[in-house]
Amino acid sequence: MSTATSARPLTAPSSHAPRAGGTPRRSRTRTRLELALLLAPGLVLFVGFVLVPIGVATFYSLYSWNGFGPLTDFVGLDNYVDAFSGDVFQGAIAHNLIIAALTIIVQLPLSISLALLLNRKLRGRTFLRMVVFAPYVLSEAVTAVIWLLMLQPGGFVDQVLRGAGLGWAVQQWLADPKIVLYSLFVVITWKYIGFGVILLLAGLQGIPAELREAAALDGASSWQATRHVVLPLLGPTIRVWIFLAVIGSLQLFDLVWIMTLGGPANASTTMATYLIDHGFKRYEFGFGSAVAVILFIICFTFALLYQRFALRRDTDGALTRAVN
Amino acid sequence: MSRRNGVGYLAAFAVIGITVVPLLFVILGGFRTTAQINRAPAGLPGPWVWDNYIEVLGSPYFWRLLGNSALIAVVATTLAVGFGSMAAFALSRYAFRGREAFYTLFTLGLLFPLGVATLPLYLWLRQLGLLENPLGVALPEAAFSLPITIVILRPFMNAIPIELEDAALLDGTAKLGFFWRILLPLSRPALATVSVLAFVSSWNFFLLPLLVFNDSTNFTLPLGVAMFQSEHSQDTAKILAFTALSMIPALTFFVLAERRMVGGLTGSVKG
């Protein structure tokens, strides 16, 4: 996403700046003032609430600290070592990675098929698009409560399965440590599939119909045209989606916290629920800060590597293009 | 072709079903009693019960949460879009040393998702004395919405022809006057997009309010829904009514702003 840094060169040339009256020196002062006036509020807000907390957390993470009183117990990197050597945190990292992998393996093909479907001239297409997108607008909290109730033992899902003659498939959806992560993944898919579909639909609209037609004239089947013409052209959109999906998976919190609290027996703990559970609920702020820094470094490393190796091809792409 | 479309419609119906059924479960469940729901979780209301909805709508608590959420979202959106458009203007229509460095600094924020920073933020807000304060949630939300706001607005403002600016400056308008009277009105489509993005993310945010607010009268709606669920866990029908009602603002807003939202997303990945 930081392709943003490689934005197009700007067009406003400097010769335009000092024109409004007065001597050049006065107008330069004036321009400086204007710039300060325009940039300062945003900068203060951004530095004060984005950069400072992360810096402060790095500092706290070197101490053993319960959140009260002065920082006296300097422990160096012990908090980091403790976190990485704990089974629960290792499990949490694994859960995040499983969710990220499942997201790509399951949601990507699903989103692409749905987007291709919705790109056809079906009746009620607009309505269909809105329906697919609707769960994405709901908060994760609402989504979690809905599915928590539907997945109760003997609840809606179980009854529907039994009614359809699939009674053997009924599980302890949220209480079985072997299943809970996959149940959560289904809920995540329900909520976020619309986002992928909308992104890909937008990408599809940028592909001229003539390309498909030309392929068809050359004797390509519909599947071949999709596979060899449409999908490669969707590349940039797909790469952006993967980026957002992985970052999202690494930070998974709300759904898990409300539906399972990371349980049963830590079977659905994620890095973020672990962070809040230890850092906040148990007042281990130094340790929690270390976990926050780890989570941050993991996201940041992924972002940089992904940017370097996958997004590089779409130099001008993604968010820098913005709304035109 | 028609066979392909047949398959298409079939798939479309499946998609609608999977998406809509859970929503209907909530909305219709609110019109039943807990006893009815326990007996047949997948049943329809019969007879229709209005008590759950009436009770929730009659409770000051629900309206209080709605008000809290609205206040925080409005403040966060106003700050993000206001400060963001000012910064985007400076970064697009002025030439000065360090401009790209400032821009890069802001775009760096795209890599710091709010979720990651929440615990450090909580500690920081505690130090600033902003716990139990709507600003303690609205200010960080605005700060974290700034990067995307600036990233979307800068190219948009950049694309507005320089001739317009020249003409305005020749007419004696100050540069800030040009910003306020010409550039901002022209940027309305992009402003709408970033407003929707900022508003929705604030409206739905759960983790930060969870840490900042301890007093349940300060809660936002997502927090309230989760809390209501755990406190009334025996009263399924009432939870469903509460949840259904708390979905309405987001869904209404979505229906009204759908074009902007989808347009904004599609625009942002025009690739």
Which structure tokens are listed for B58?
């009659």
Partners of residue A317 in chain B, C-beta under 8 Å: 269, 271
CATH classification of the domain holding A200:
1.10.3720.10
The sign of the dihedral angle between the CA atoms of A216, A220, A222, A227 is negative
C-beta separation of A96 from A106 below 8 A: no
d(CA A225, CA B221): 47
What ipTM does this complex have? Answer: 0.84
pLDDT tens-digit profile of A74-131?
A: 888 888 998 899 899 999 999 999 999 999 999 999 999 888 888 877 777 778 878 8
Query: Hey, is B214 helix, strand or coil?
Result: coil
**Exposed, middle or buried by CB within 10 Å (0-12, 13-18, 19+), for B16?**
middle
pLDDT tens-digit readout, A46-70: 999 988 888 888 888 898 888 777 7
Q: Does residue A315 belong to the interface with chain B, where contact is any CB pair within 8 Å?
A: no
Measured between CA atoms, the residue of chain B closest to residue A8 is B155
Selecting from A4, A41, A42 the residue whose C-beta is nearest the C-beta of B151 gives: A4
Is-contact B265 A199, C-beta < 8 A? yes
Which of A11, A46, A324 to mutate: most B Cβ within 10 Å?
Answer: A46
Q: Are residues B86 and A144, on separate chains, in Cβ contact within 8 Å? A: no
Domain B60-268 -> CATH class = mainly alpha
**Per the domain annotation, does A282 fall within a domain?**
yes
What is the spatial distance between Cα A22 and Cα A151, in angstroms, rounded to a whole number? Answer: 72
Look up residue A160 and give its two tokens.
Answer: 């529907």
- Specify if A148 maps to a domain: yes
Distance from CA of A311 to the nearest CA of B (A): 11
CA B94 – CA B91 distance, rounded (Å): 6
- Identify the sign of the CA torsion B101, B102, B105, B107: negative
Interchain contact, B23 vs A142, CB within 8 Å? no
Give B-chain residues touching A26 at CB under 8 angstroms: none
Q: Answer whether A81 touches B (CB < 8 Å).
A: no
Contact in structure between A89 and A271 (CB atoms under 8 Å)? yes
DSSP 8-class letter at A227: I
Contacts of B62 in chain A (CB under 8 A): none
**Token output for B261:** 């939202």
Contact A149, B41 (CB under 8 A): no
Q: Does residue A261 form part of some domain?
A: yes
**Close Cβ partners of B18 (under 8 Å, ≥ 6 residues apart):** A190
The predicted pLDDT at position A186 comes to: 95
pLDDT tens digit string along A266-321? 999 999 999 988 888 888 888 988 998 998 889 888 888 888 887 766 544 444 44
Whether residue A61 lies inside any domain: the answer is: no
Neighbours of A37 (CB within 10 A): 12
For B59, B84, B95, the CA distances from A38, given in Å and listed in that order, are 44, 9, 13
Verify whether the Cβ–Cβ distance A280 to B8 is below 8 Å.
Answer: no
Chain B environment of A289 (Cβ under 8 Å): 119-120, 123
Confirm if A219 and A257 have CB atoms less than 8 A apart.
no
- Report how far apart, in Å, the C-alpha atoms of A206 and of each of A66, A125, A256, A263 are: 54, 18, 36, 44
CB contact under 8 Å between A42 and B223, yes or no, is no
> Are B147 and B110 within 8 A, CB to CB?
yes
- Give the separation between CA B146 and CA B152, rounded to whole angstroms: 10
Cα angle A255, A260, A264; round to 5: 145
Number of domains in chain A: 1
CA-based nearest residue in chain B for residue A135: B19
CA atoms within 13 A on the CB side of A322: 25
Close Cβ partners of A75 (under 8 Å, ≥ 6 residues apart): A62, A63, A64, A286
The predicted model scores a pTM of: 0.84
Torsion of the alpha carbons at B15, B17, B20 and B26, rounded to the nearest 10: -140
CB contact under 8 A, A38 and B87: yes
Q: What is the DSSP letter of A191?
A: H
Give the sign of the dihedral formed by CA B37, CA B39, CA B42, CA B47. negative
* Residue ranges making up the domain that contains A113: 91-320
Question: Is the model more confident about A299 or about A324?
Answer: A299
Omega prior to A70 cis, within 30 of 0: no
Quote the pLDDT of residue B15: 84
Query: What is the 8-class DSSP label of residue B5?
Result: H
List chain A residues with CB under 8 Å of B240: 149
State the pLDDT at residue A226: 82
- Rounded mean pLDDT for each run of 10 residues along chain B, 271 residues in total: 70 86 91 86 84 90 93 96 95 89 85 77 90 94 92 87 87 86 87 85 90 91 90 88 89 74 50 32
Q: Which of A10, A148, A303 sits opposite B158 (nearest CB)?
A: A10
- Contact criterion met (CB below 8 Å) for A70 and A56: no
Does A197 reach chain B within 8 Å, measured CB to CB?
no
Does B174 lie at the interface with A, CB-CB under 8 angstroms? yes
Q: Alpha-carbon distance A125 to B120, whole Å?
A: 45
B200, A136 contact by CB (below 8 A): no
For chain B, what are the domain ranges? 60-268
pLDDT at A271: 92
Chain B closest-CA separation from residue A324 CA (Å): 6
Specify the pLDDT at position B4: 64
Listed by number, the residues of chain A in 283-312 with a beta carbon closer than 8 Å to a beta carbon of chain B are 285, 288-289, 291-292, 295-296, 299-300, 303
- For residue B141, give Cα distances in angstroms to A20, A50, A256, B65: 37, 10, 22, 18
A 10 A CB-CB count for A174 gives 21
What's the residue count for chain A? 324
Mean per-residue pLDDT, A223-242: 85
